[in-house]
Structure 1
Amino acid sequence: MVLGRGGAGKSTLAAALGAATGLPVVELDKHFWGPGLEATPLELWAVVQGELAAEDRWIMDGDLGPYDVLDVRLRRADTVLLLDYSFPRCAWRAVWRSRESADFWRWVWSWRRRSRPVLLEALAAHAQDAEVHVFRGPRATARFLARFS
């Protein structure tokens, strides 16, 4: 699983890991957001994630902040990568990536204060057996990725 603040590069890392390992990559945003960026209801989202995580092997990227139901996929993950990058780095990447909503920017701004503690609690509760890596910057992430080249 790849988690982190918006704009951190979760999808890019997941794609690189998928290419290096041959594992299928599941981009959760493509399964969660409906037309007009309509969020999938939490009950249904838990079911969808259960189906996606039921596969034997996968790389899932996505951090849906307050819309997420983490425990479903955390229970199945053997490795979790948390991109704990700074706000300026993520904001810069997000600006260049696409036009984003005010909700997105509130989430990115408050991620370390609000979402990160929730993620760490969920990891402790539901991913005790997973190998967890927390990366504070792209160099650390690149060193990890180089292990698969």
Structure 2
Amino acid sequence: MRRLLIVGSAGAGKSTLAREVARRLDLPLIHLDRHYWRPGWTAAPDDDFRAEVIRLAARPAWVMDGNYGGSLDLRLPRADLLVLCDPPRLLCLARVLRRRWIHRAVPRPDLPDGCPEQIDLQFLRYVWHYPRRSRPRVLAAVRATAPDLPVVRLRTRADTRRWLATLPPPDRPHRPAPPGPRCRS
């Protein structure tokens, strides 16, 4: 595995998992938030962002975290594995609230400068509705653009620990890890 795409709801643990996977596999880490957002939470123009995603996805190796459904068609065909972080929505909500508290004065490392952690009602609604609205779109995009792409779906911390245990520890040489169970949802 040389290109792993990690997606899921806000608060699902994507960035934390991506950092650990990149460390264990000694792969470059790409947080899409750092490429999409400009200071003051200004979104990149669609054409600019898609061009940047094309450039990033063309790299020979990466661990990439971020949803950005409008660019899945560019990333899924390049990925060797999709990891869907899929914990319960209440856990995701609790995590985004906790994250807001933790990063009230110290910026998150996966966000660009000038984008302090914030929460509003629209964001909380996105987290709440992710399982019903966004997750089906992600899985439909996999079926449409990369139907043979292995998908690992991590619903619990135990799932995540078990899957991480299949990866080499960071102090050992890289060996290919099994992709995990195929997601059929």
Please, what TM-score do these two structures have when normalized by structure 2? 0.76
Supply the distance in 1 between the matched residues of 2:163 and 2:55 (Cα, whole angstroms).
28
Q: Which of 83, 97, 102 is equivalent to 1:81?
A: 83
In structure 2, the partner of 1:17 is 21
Supply the distance in 1 between the matched residues of 2:68 and 2:128 (Cα, whole angstroms).
14
Deviation per residue, 1:61-102 (Å, 9 max, x gap): 01135xx32111111001000011111111111101113233
Unaligned runs of 5+ in 1: none
Point out the structure with max Rg over C-alpha.
Answer: 2
How big is the shift at 1:114? 0.8
Which letter maps to 1:75? P
More helix by share: 1
Q: Which of 157, 180, 185 is equivalent to 1:138?
A: 157
Pair 1:101 & 2:103 matched: no
Please tell me whether the aligned partners of residues 14 and 59 of structure 1 are also in contact (alpha carbons under 8 angstroms). yes
Which letter maps to 1:95? L
SS of the residue corresponding to residue 74 of structure 2 reads helix
In structure 2, the partner of 1:112 is 131
Structure 1 segment 20-31 matched on structure 2, within 5 A: 20-31=24-35
Q: 1:100 to 1:64 in 2, by over 3 A?
A: farther
Supply the distance in 2 between the matched residues of 1:142 and 1:125 (Cα, whole angstroms).
30
SS of the residue corresponding to residue 70 of structure 1 reads helix
Pair 1:37 & 2:41 matched: yes
Q: Which has the higher contact order (CA 8 A, sep 6+)?
A: 1
* Higher mean C-alpha displacement, 130-139 vs 107-116: 130-139
How big is the shift at 1:42? 2.2
Supply the distance in 2 between the matched residues of 1:110 and 1:78 (Cα, whole angstroms).
28
Runs of 4+ in 1 over 6 A off after TM superposition: none
How big is the shift at 1:105? 1.1
Q: Which of 56, 71, 74 is equivalent to 1:69?
A: 71
Q: Which of 10, 30, 39 is equivalent to 1:6?
A: 10
Which letter maps to 2:98? W
Supply the distance in 1 between the matched residues of 2:42 and 2:18 (Cα, whole angstroms).
24
Please tell me whether the aligned partners of residues 71 and 126 of structure 1 are also in contact (alpha carbons under 8 angstroms). yes
* Higher mean C-alpha displacement, 125-134 vs 72-81: 125-134
* Higher mean C-alpha displacement, 37-46 vs 109-118: 37-46
Supply the distance in 2 between the matched residues of 1:71 and 1:102 (Cα, whole angstroms).
29
Please, what TM-score do these two structures have when normalized by structure 1? 0.93
Number of aligned pairs?
147
